[in-house]
Amino acid sequence: MNFFTLEAKSGNARAGRIVTSHGVIETPIFMPVGTRGTVKALEQEDLEALAAQIILGNTYHLYLKPGHELIERLGGLHKFMSWDRPILTDSGGYQVFSLSDINKLTEEGVTFQSHIDGSKHLITPEKSMQIQRALGSDIVMAFDECPKLPASKETLHKSMKLTERWAKRCKSVELKSHQHLFGIIQGGLFEDLRTESMQGLIELGFDGYALGGLSVGEKNEEMVAFCASFVPTMPENKPRYLMGVGKPLDVMNGIKAGLDMFDCVLPTRNARNGQFLTHHGPLNIKKARFLEDSGAPDPECKCRVCQRYSRAYIRHLFNVGEYLAGQLITFHNIYFYLNMVKEAREAIFQDGFDDYYTKFYNNYTSNRWE
Q: Give contact residues for a second copy (rule: CB under 8 A).
A: 36-38, 40-45, 61, 65-66, 70, 73-75, 80-82, 291-292, 294, 304, 308-310, 312-313, 316-317, 319-320, 322-324, 326-328
* Nearest alpha carbon to residue 344 among 355, 353, 334, 336: 353
**Residue number, 37 or 208, with CB nearest to a second copy:** 37
Element containing residue 257 per DSSP (H, E): helix 248-257
Q: How far is the CB of 314 from a second copy (least distance, A)?
A: 10
Give me the catalytic one of 46, 90, 138, 260: 90
CA 229 to chain centre: 21
State which residue, 66 or 281, has the beta carbon closest to a second copy.
66
Q: For residue 105, what are the CA distances in angstroms to 108, 172, 173?
A: 8, 21, 21
CA dist 47 and 334 (Å) reads 9
Between residues 31 and 62, which has the closer beta carbon with respect to a second copy? 62
Task: Find the shortest distance in angstroms from Cβ 40 to a second copy.
Answer: 6
Find out whether 111 and 122 touch, Cβ atoms under 8 Å.
Answer: yes
Do the Cβ atoms of 22 and 87 come closer than 8 Å? yes
CB nearer to a second copy: pick between 45 and 221: 45
CA 278/CA 310 separation, integer angstroms: 14
CB of 190 to a second copy, least distance (A): 38
**Minimum gap (Å) between residue 303 Cβ and a second copy:** 12
The three-class DSSP label of residue 211 is strand
155 in Cβ contact with 186 (< 8 Å): no
Distance of CA 340 to the CA centre of its chain: 15
Residue number with CB closer to a second copy (61 or 240): 61
For this structure, is 90 an active site residue? Answer: yes
Q: Which of 138, 250, 260, 263 is catalytic?
A: 263
Beta carbons of 58 and 89 less than 8 angstroms apart: yes
Nearest-approach distance from CB 322 to a second copy, in angstroms = 5
Residues annotated as catalytic are 90, 263
